[in-house]
Chains A and B, each alone.
Chain A
Amino acid sequence: MSTLTEAPVESAVRELTYAEAIREALAIAMEADERVFLFGEDVGVYGGAFGVSGDLVHRFGTERVIDTPISELGIAGAAVGAAITGMKPVLEIQFSDFVTLAMEQIVNQAAKIRFMFGGKAKVPMVVRLPGGSGTGAAAQHSQSLEAWFAHVPGLKVIQPSSPHDAKGMLLSAIDDPNPVLIFEHKLLYKTKGHVPEGDYRVPIGKAAVRREGRDLTIVGSSIMAVRAAAAAEKLAEEGIDAEVIDLRSLRPIDFDTIAASVRKTHRLMVVYEGVKTMGIGAEISAMIAESDVFDFLDAPIVRLGGAEVPLPYNPVLEKAAVPQEDDILTAARRLARGDA
C-alpha cells in the first residue's frame, strides 16, 4: 500500500462527492486491513442516514458493516473495547448531536485509557459525525459540537472541507493509533471535487492555505473554509486580497500556519459554525495574544461564530444563526478597510 502525503495534482481529474469520497476511504481501509469494521445505526442496507456507507454492506458483509440498535452509549463503548483489543472500529453517530449520549465512553474512556494505563494500551478508533445546520433539522439535529471535543486531551478532532481531504484524512484517522473524531458537515456531502484514486493520506494536524493574500487572514474549517474561499474571490474583485486558511484539524491545531499568515497580513478573522462564545475563535485569538504574533496585529481580531441560540427551525432564522458567505464578506470588508 503506497502512502503519499498529498496526492499529486496532475493525476487524472476524477470528481466524487464528499460522501462518495468517505465511502471510498472506508472501502480502501477495509480491503487493506481486516481489523477495520464499520458500525452504527442504519449503516447497513439503508446505506447510512446520509447515504455515506451506501453499498458497503453488500461488498463487505454484515460482519464488517454492522447495523446496531439505537444505543449510542453502548456502541461508543463497544468501539473502545474493540479498539483496545486489536480491532480498528469506525463508528458512525447518525447525527453528531447524538454524540451527547455517547459522551461518557468517548470522553471518560476512549480519551483517557492510554494515559491512565501508563501508556500500556491504545485506542485506535474513529468516530464519524455528520453535523452542522442548514437542512431545517432544528435544534437537536443541527449542532456543531466539535469544539467540545477539541477541549479533551487524548482525542483528535478533524473537520475536512473537501472530498479530497475527507478521503485522505479519514484514511489517516483509521491509521492513527488514537481516537479520532471526524466532523462531516451535512451540507458538504453532496459537494463534488477532485479525488485521486487509491490510497493517499492527508495528515492530521496540518492546515492548508487555500488562497494566498496580503490584506487579511480568514481562518475556518469544514463548510466555513468553503464559504471563506468563496467570499475571498468576491473580495478580490473589490481589491481586498484575503488569505484563506482551511484549518482541517482542531486538535492538534496547526498554529504555525496561522501565525505565519498573520505575520504577513496583520489582520485575522476566525469563522466557525459553533456558538461564538468559548469556541474555536477564542482559542485561536488567545494563541495569537499569547505569542509574539500579537505585535503584528494592526486591528482587533474578529470572531465570526454561531449566534448564542439553539438552531431554529424556521429557515430564515436558521440562516441568521450561522455565518453565511455574506456575513464573511461584510466582516472582512470592515476588517480590511478598518471601517467599523
Chain B
Amino acid sequence: MKADTDTTARRPNQRPELAAIDDETMRSVLRKMHLIRKFEEAAEASYMRGLIHGTMHLSIGQEASAVGATLALMDEDYILSTHRGHGHCIAKGAEPARMFAEFFGKENGYCRGRGGSMHIADVDGGNLGANGIVGGGLPIAVGVGMSIKAQKLDRVAVVFFGDGASNEGAFHEALNMASIWKLPILFVCENNKYGMSMDIGRAMAVPNVADRAVAYAMPGVVVDGNDLPAVAAVAREAAERARAGGGPTLIECKTYRLRGHSKSDRNLYRTKEEIEDWRNRCPIRRLEAELVAHERFTPEVLMTIEEAAQAEIDTALDFAKASPDPDPKDLTRDVYAD
C-alpha cells in the first residue's frame, strides 16, 4: 500500500475488494481498461473503413475480467489467451502500437504480420498467444504448469477461455491433469452467455461453468465478471494458492460481449433489450462511479486518465499505419527453428 497520497486508507467504508487496490494500481487498472476499450473501438473503425482484412472478435464489455484476472500477476507469469484476446494482451502489458501493427499485418507487429488479430502473442511479455482454436490454450496451459513445476519457478499461468470452450473435451482433459498434478494454473472462464449464437443454457447441462470444478476436485468460483475489484480479489487468492503449491482454480467471470461474435454476426439470437441492459453494466463506468462515490478520484482525474489512454491509442494507430509490410521473399521464414 502506498503512503499519504493514497486515499485508500482514508476510505474505511469501502468494500475490501476495492480497498485492496491502492490508488497507483487503480490508475494502471483504469488506464488498461480504457486502452482495451479504445483499442477495440479503433480496430472496429479501421475494419469498417476497409483497412483491415479478415475478421476480429471484440471484447468490448469484458474489460474487467481481463484486467482483474491478471492484476496479481508478475511480469514473469504467463497467460494464454483466446480468439477474443485483445484485452488479455493489453492487460498483460503489451504495447498497443505493436498490436495494431499486427492487426494491419505489418512487419513490426507482435507476430510480424503473420498471425493477425486472432494470434497476437507477446512471448517476451509472458503472453503465450491468442488462439484461433476454441479451447486450444487449455491443454497447453497444463504443459506450462508442468514446466513451471519442473523448473521450480515461482510462477503461475492464467488461461482464459470462453463458456463455449468448456464444452470441448480439451477443457475436461486439461482440468483433470492440472488437478491430479496440482499445477499452478488459474483457469479463467469468461462466460459471456454465448458461444457464438449458442446460449449457454442450451449448450450446457449445469448452470455454471464453475460447477464443473467439482468433477476435478478443484475450487470453482463464480464472480461478477463486470466487477473489477471482485475479479481481482478472486484471482489474487487463486494465484496465492497456486504459488503455494495448492494447485489450480477454476474461476468463472460472468460477463457479456456487447458487440457481435465477429464481424459477420447479425445478433439474431439475442434481443436488443438484453444488449442494452448489459451496456448499462459497463465495467469501466461502474468502477469509475464507485471510485467517485468513495471520493478516491474526482471525475476530472478520471477524465484525464481516459484522455491519456485515447491519446496513447491514437499514437499507436499512427505507428501501425506507418509501419512496413513484410517482404514476400520471407514467405516461408520461421516455419522451423534453426
Contacts and interface: CB of A to CB of B under 8 A. Distances in A.
A76 B203 CA distance: 16
B55 A308 contact: no
Interface stretch (A5-13, A67-75, A327-335): A67-75
B331 A70 contact: no
A142 to B, nearest CB: 10
Contact of B328 (A135, A140, A317): A317
B115 interface: yes
A70 B132 contact: no
Contacts of A312: 113-114, 326, 331
Contacts of A310: 335
Nearest to B199: A67
A314 B114 contact: yes
Given A73-B169, A313-B116, A45 B268 contact: yes
A72 B119 CA distance: 21
B164 interface: yes
Contacts of B196: 41-42, 46, 49, 70
Given A49-B264, A315-B105, A67 B202 contact: yes
Interface in B99-116: 105-106, 111, 113-116
B54 A136 contact: yes
A44 interface: yes
Interface string B308-338: 0000000000000000011010011001000
B137 to A, nearest CB: 12
B195 interface: yes
Interface size class of B (residues with CB under 8 A): 35 or more
Contacts of A67: 197-198, 202
A314 B133 contact: no
A98 B268 CA distance: 24
Contacts of A135: 54-55
A46 B197 contact: yes
B177 interface: no
Interface string A285-321: 0000000000000000000000111101111110011
A69 B167 contact: yes
A46 B55 CA distance: 17
Interface string A173-204: 00000000000000000000000000000000
B165 interface: yes
Interface in B274-328: 325-326, 328
B164 A69 contact: yes
Given A45-B269, A314-B114, A136 B332 contact: no
A70 B135 contact: yes
B221 interface: no
Q: Which of A69, A97, A101 has the most CB of B within 10 A?
A: A69
A317 B112 CA distance: 11
A141 interface: yes
Given A70-B167, A101-B168, A313-B119, A307 B331 contact: yes
Given A70-B167, A138-B115, A308-B335, A316 B54 contact: no
A121 interface: no
Contact of A315 (B53, B164, B197): B53
A67 B52 CA distance: 30
Describe A's contact surface by its main secondary structure: loop
A137 interface: yes
Interface residues of A, number: 37
A69 B118 contact: no
B54 A139 contact: no
Contacts of A141: 118, 132
B318 to A, nearest CB: 20
A47 interface: yes
Nearest to B326: A314
Contacts of A69: 164, 167, 195, 198, 203-204
B134 to A, nearest CB: 5
B131 to A, nearest CB: 8
B113 A314 contact: yes
A67 B194 CA distance: 13
A74 B197 contact: no
B114 A313 contact: yes
A308 B113 contact: no
B326 A70 contact: no
A70 B168 contact: yes
A313 B105 contact: yes
A145 to B, nearest CB: 14
A139 B115 contact: yes
A46 B195 CA distance: 12
A70 B165 CA distance: 7
A98 B169 CA distance: 13
Given A47-B268, A136-B55, A70 B198 contact: yes
Contacts of A316: 105, 325-326, 328
A264 to B, nearest CB: 36
B197 A314 contact: no
B326 A317 contact: yes
Interface string B138-160: 00000000000000000000000
Contact of A139 (B105, B132, B134, B265): B132
Contacts of A320: 328, 331
A135 B55 CA distance: 8
Contacts of B197: 42, 44-46, 67
Nearest to B203: A69
A312 B325 CA distance: 13
18 contacts: A46-B265, A69-B204, A70-B196, A101-B168, A136-B55, A136-B116, A137-B118, A138-B115, A138-B116, A138-B132, A140-B118, A140-B131, A141-B132, A309-B332, A313-B119, A316-B105, A320-B331, A321-B331
Interface of B: 52-55, 105-106, 111, 113-116, 118-119, 131-136, 164-165, 167-169, 195-198, 202-204, 264-265, 268-269, 325-326, 328, 331-332, 335
- In the A-B complex, list the 7 residue pairs whose CB atoms are closest, starting with the nearest: A136-B54, A313-B116, A140-B132, A136-B53, A314-B105, A46-B197, A69-B167
Given A313-B111, A317-B326, 11 more contacts: A45-B268, A45-B269, A49-B264, A71-B167, A136-B116, A307-B332, A308-B332, A315-B53, A316-B328, A320-B328, A320-B331
